[in-house]
Amino acid sequence: MTLFLLVLLAALVFEYINGFHDTANAIATVVSTKVLTPRQAIVWAAGWNLAGALAGTAVAQTISSGLVNASAVTMLTVLSALLGAIMWNLFTWWLGLPSSSSHALVGGLCGAALATAHGDWSVLIWSVTNAKGAHAGLWPKVVLPMFSSPLFGFVGGALLMGLLTIVLRKVTPRMVNLIFGKAQLLSAGWMGFGHGSNDAQKTMGIITLALFTGTTSGAFDNLPGWASFLRVTEFKGIPLWVIVTCALTMAAGTAAGGWRIIRTMGHKMVKLQPVHGFAAETTAATILYVTASLGVPVSTTHVISTSIMGVGATKRLSAVKWGVVERIIWAWVLTLPVTGLLGYMLERLLTGVSG
């Protein structure tokens, strides 16, 4: 039970960090275009994060049961995965790099599960087809979206911005800024909702995995009657208390802000006007909502970053500061292998200490 409480604490710390780490992804454009002050944008995003987090559980079910074999998961596995993801998130936040919290958690979970299974790679679910004909596993749910979602973000942002440029070609710049200064409030809210609907669910999934592990391992056998809510015997539903707790924690983290990453996303990568912010946010939020409904844990960072790049590229390719983009891409590339290694090493270390 003590170990589970550590897992729960680590999960909520991860969720809180995810909130302020990825807040920048949701609000950087609305801040950089000066439609809202940073404080106003954070409050706005926190509210929509909360709404999005309560909107569904498809992504949570993917994390809890669709990526690694549950038989290879112990409380130490889950704790190691969370600690590895937390370490990477704090490191990239300190550097001001918008890395993926989603992939940090997935990488940590895979590395820790591999360590628990003593290097047996079969514990990782690469690709399976369920009874309904739907595809699940790391390949269709993580690897393919890792490459396709940034592409959709870049192309979608460029196409929407191109369409808006054509439609608005006879409208004065002053009127365009006035219209989209208001419209960007909606797109920023939509972005916050998409972020909550995808990212908050990942921690819901990892907590449910820990609850299932504790139940099946017998760790919860001697719990008093009032604590029966901790017992989870199947993955068909995410407990309501887990959903609410994760939603509120992410909203709290969002309210804390993430100023370092906001500066990178909103100011260093490309100079934006309200219409550009609207196009980038609308594109990214739509991708997040669609993928969340499909149970695909994509990276908020990837889709908003590439949407901003796509929008900026419609002005001219040189408008995008590609040196900053290169640093961001390196953070993307390194996230899965580094957190996988961290998860593996932490599981071996904790197993040795507890043994």
The predicted-structure confidence for 280-290, as pLDDT tens digits, reads as follows 989 999 999 99
Q: What is the pLDDT of residues 7-20, one digit of tens each?
A: 999 999 998 888 77
SS3 track for the chain: CHHHHHHHHHHHHHHHHHHHHHHHHHHHHHHHCCCCCHHHHHHHHHHHHHHHHCCCCHHHHHHHHCCECHHHCCHHHHHHHHHHHHHHHHHHHHHCCCCCHHHHHHHHHHHHHHHHCCCCHHHECCCEECCCCCEECHHHHHHHHHHHHHHHHHHHHHHHHHHHHHHCCCCCHHHHHHHHHHHHHHHHHHHHHHHHHHHHHHHHHHHHHHHHHHHHHCCCCCCCHHHHHHCCCCCCCCCHHHHHHHHHHHHHHHHHCCHHHHHHHHHHCCCCCHHHHHHHHHHHHHHHHHHHHCCCCCCHHHHHHHHHHHHHHHHCHHHCCHHHHHHHHHHHHHHHHHHHHHHHHHHHHHHHHHC
Q: What is the pLDDT of residues 239-261, one digit of tens each?
A: 888 888 988 888 787 777 655 55
257 dihedral zone (left: phi>0; alpha: psi -120 to 50; beta):
left
CA-closest candidate to residue 161, choices 286, 315, 306:
315
Q: Please name the amino acid found at residue 216.
A: T
Supply the pLDDT for residue 41.
78
Supply the pLDDT for residue 12.
92
How far is residue 343's CA from residue 90's CA, in Å, rounded to a whole number?
15
Q: Please name the amino acid found at residue 134.
A: A
How far is residue 336's CA from residue 143's CA, in Å, rounded to a whole number?
10
Q: What is the mean pLDDT of residues 160-187?
A: 90
Cβ(56)–Cβ(294) below 8 Å: no
Considering only CA atoms, give the Rg of the chain.
20
Q: What is the pTM of this model?
A: 0.84
Share of the chain above pLDDT 90, in %: 27
Q: What is the mean pLDDT of residues 157-174?
A: 92
